[in-house]
């Protein structure tokens, strides 16, 4: 399994918004771009997905920009990754579309389900606030 740049950069952008959350003012995309060394064009794509998932909101006008839709302690990493990547599955045969036709005789399917569930559980347990406290939110 490999997490794409979409999820990695999206997480960085969300951390940047979380670092500004207490100011209660929108953050310009250009500031997120500068602070996280990400292209504004790519951020626009990410922010559209994050906004559709109701994880961020945009504010129009002279003092507009982007903000988290709720406190950083209420947004977990799983939601961010799934908003950008879709459901997390380690192997295609255990995705949300169903189980493959070989599953009744597959000796590894339960291992892959359990492992995927552990990863999802870990991502769900880590909020933006926890992440910033643990990893300092920079670099």
* Residue 123 reports pLDDT greater than 50: yes
pLDDT in tens, 10-19: 999 999 999 9
- Using one digit for the tens of pLDDT, what is the confidence trace for 75-122? 999 999 999 999 888 887 776 555 666 666 778 888 888 999 999 999
| 137 in Cβ contact with 19 (< 8 Å) | yes
Instruction: Name the band, by pLDDT with cuts 50, 70 and 90, for residue 139.
Output: very low
What class is the 5-135 domain? mainly alpha
Buried b / exposed e over 24-54, threshold 16 CB at 10 Å, is eebbebeebbebbebeeeebeebbebbeeee
pLDDT at 1: 65
Helix (H, G, I), strand (E, B) or coil at 40: helix
Rounded-to-integer distance, Cα 94 and Cα 96, Å: 7
Residues in the chain: 139
What average pLDDT does this structure show over 25-46?
95
pTM passes above 0.75: yes
Q: What mean pLDDT, rounded, does the chain reach?
A: 90
């Amino acid at each position: 399994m490999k997490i794409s740049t979409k999820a990695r950069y999206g997480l960085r952008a969300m951390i940047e918004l979380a670092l500004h959350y207490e100011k209660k003012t929108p953050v310009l995309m250009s500031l997120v771009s500068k602070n996280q060394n990400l292209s504004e064009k790519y951020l626009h794509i990410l922010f559209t997905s994050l906004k559709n998932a109701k994880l961020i909101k945009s504010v129009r006008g002279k003092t507009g920009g982007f903000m988290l839709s709720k406190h950083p302690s209420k947004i977990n990493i799983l939601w961010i990754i799934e908003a950008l990547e879709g459901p997390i599955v380690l192997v295609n045969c255990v995705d949300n579309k169903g189980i493959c036709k070989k599953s009744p005789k597959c000796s590894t399917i339960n291992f892959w389900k359990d492992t995927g569930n552990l990863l999802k559980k870990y991502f769900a347990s880590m909020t933006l606030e926890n992440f910033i406290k643990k990893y300092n939110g920079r670099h």
